[in-house]
Amino acid sequence: MKSLTNKNILLAVTGSISAYKSPNIIRKLQELGAQVKVILTNSGSQFITKLSLEIISKNKVYDDLWAENEEMAHINLTRWADVFLIAPASANTINKLANGHANDLLTTTVLASNIPLIIAPAMNQQMFKTIENNLNQLKNKGVISIEEFGEQACGDIGLGRFADTNKIIEVIIKQFQTTELTGKKILITVGATIENIDPVRYISNRSSGKMGVALANTCIEFGAEVYVIYGNISTQLPQKSKNIKVNTADEMFQAVMDNIKDCDIFIGCAAVADYKVKKISPQKIKKHADEINLTLIKNKDIITEVAKNYPNIFIVGFAAESENLLENAKNKLKNKQLNMIIANQISDKNIGFEVDENEVTILTKNKHFFIEKNNKKKIAKKIIKKIINFL
C-alpha cells in the first residue's frame, strides 16, 4: 500500500520563482497515492499557469474567492483536505497569514482550516530575516515550516532557499504516522448484511461501508492491528487489514465470535439486519398472487453478545436513527452495555448512508460530543481520537 493512499492534499502555490517546482511536488504526491487539489494565488500565476497545474493535478485549480459556481470554496476545500501545504510560501503570504488577513482565497481557506498546515518558505535570505518574526509567530500557532539553507536564485546564500521536494514529501507523510494504537487489536464490522428471500431476492439496507472503512483506515494509520468483517459494501477495503467477507447476519455473528478473542476494541459499524426470513424459498418465487407474506424472525444482536461475553473489550456501537436521535442512542448505549455509541441522523440525505459526508454525536455514559458535518475520513479520525482518550 502506498504511503499516501486515500489521502487528500491541498497545495497552495504563491508568488515565488520556486513555483516552477510545484508540478514535481504534485507528481510525487500522486505517485504515493494522494489526490491533490491546487490553490493558485494571483502572484503565483506570474510564475506558473493555471492550465499547467490543472493538467498535472488532474483537478480543477482554484484561484478566485469570488468565482461563480464555487460557493464556499474556502470551506469545501479544507473539508476535503487532510493536509494543507503552501509551497512555495512567499514573504507576502507569510506576513498575511501571521496577521490574520482574509482578503483572497488562500488566506480565507487557511482561516477556515483545522487541518495540519505546512509551509515551505521561498525567498531571498535578507527577506527571510525580515519576515522571521512573523514566521515564528505562525510556528508558535502550530504551523509546520520547512526551512532550508543554501544558494538562492539571486546568488545569495542563506535561509530562504526552497526546500527539496523529497524533504517536503517526508514531512507530509509524517502527518499520517502515529503510534497511539500500536499493540492494539481492533475488530470492525462494516457494510450491510443480506438476508435471502429466494435465490434472486433479498432484504438489505443502504449502508455503503464508507464510514466503517474510514474507521479501519484511521486505526491502521494509528498503528493498530485491524480486522475488518464486511458485508455488502460499495467502497475499497484497506489493504493492511485482515478482511473477512460475510453475507448474512448469522455469518457476521460467527465471524465476530471467531475473531473477537484478544481484541482491545470492537467497533460495530455494520448495518446488520434486525430480522431474517424464517423460510427461504429454494426456488425463485413466481409472480402469481397479488400478495405474498414473509415471516421474519429476529437475528442475534452481535454487539450485545460481544458486550455480554467480553466485558474487558472497549465496545463502540452505532445508532442510525430517523427520529429521537439522542434519546434512542442513549437507550442503546445503556441497554447494550456499550462504552461508546455514535449517533447519526439518517433522515438527512446529505449525510450518512451512501454519501461521503457525515455528522455525528459521540455518546458515553456521562458525556456527549457533537462532530459537525465533514467527510467521513475526518469524522473517523475524530472518533478514533475520542476512543483513545477513553482507553
- The DSSP output letter for 375 is E
Which residue out of 154, 219, 263, 269 is catalytically annotated? 154
Active site residue 269: no
CA atoms within 13 A on the CB side of 21: 19
| 84 C-beta neighbours (distance < 10 Å), count | 23
CA atoms within 13 A on the CB side of 385: 9
Cell numbers 439518517: residue: 346
- The DSSP output letter for 346 is S
Q: Nearest 5 degrees, angle CA 134-CA 139-CA 145?
A: 95
CB 238 within 8 A of CB 226: yes
- The DSSP output letter for 364 is -
**What span, in angstroms and rounded, lies between the C-alpha atoms of 367 and 9?**
33
Starting at the earlier edge strand, list the strands of the sheet with 357-363.
242-245, 225-230, 185-190, 265-268, 314-321, 340-345, 357-363, 368-375
CB 11 within 8 A of CB 30: no
Residue 284, C-alpha cell as written in the block? 425463485
Active site amino acids: 154
